[in-house]
Amino acid sequence: MALSQEKKGTIAVSLTNFLDSGCIVASGVALAAWAIAFNFDNVWVSILGAVGANAFGAAVGALIGGFLADRFGRKFIYTYNLLVYATGVFLIMCAVNLPMLCAGIVISGLSVGAGVPSSWSYISEMSSSTSRAANIGISQFAWSCGPAVIFLIALLFSFIFPTFGPDGALLPAGTYGPFDGLFAMRLLFLILFVVALIA
């Protein structure tokens, strides 16, 4: 049975909400490993936390995204914002130094913020008056599931591909694959990247 346009829209927006909240948790989970791998201090930990998906990056992205959605249309901005998101998490996944990581975090943070006004407006507009609140509830449920699912995947990866050795040191390059000890963190962002392309 074919899904209605309304249901397709609800699923797509729910996936976006999952991605947005998942990016917040994935960035937090990986922060300690990045600090060791790229040799930066607490100042940079604070900066990366501030410019990412959980703080100023998302706030600025929401202002920009709201303006662009009104100007070019919610669906247009919502759709192409996912490509921006995918670019950001791809950079994070492949990061080999602090500047590359910063670029990915800023891009993904702006994208998370920009996606909120366009996706929520879009789901409200394309829903019928009898299912609008229910569709928004489904999307909010997906937002709430994002952190839990990403955290559980990160926990699973910590047993399969530990980032740190028994002595607390970052595992060397090639321990689990072609990358470095950040292999598990890279896989985490690979999942977000693939889901973004699907959405």
pLDDT tens across 134-148, in order? 877 888 888 888 889
pLDDT at position 66 is 82
pLDDT at position 95 is 92
pLDDT, average across residues 130-159:
85
Please give the torsion angle defined by the CA atoms of residues 54, 85, 171 and 46, in that order, rounded to the nearest 10 degrees. -30
pLDDT above 90 covers a percentage of the chain that reads 18
pLDDT at position 86 is 94
Is the CB of residue 119 less than 8 Å from the CB of residue 138? no
Q: What does pTM read for this prediction?
A: 0.86
pLDDT, average across residues 151-163:
88
54 SS3 class: coil
pLDDT at position 184 is 87
Return mean pLDDT, the chain.
84
Closest CA to 95 of 24, 192, 3, 183: 183
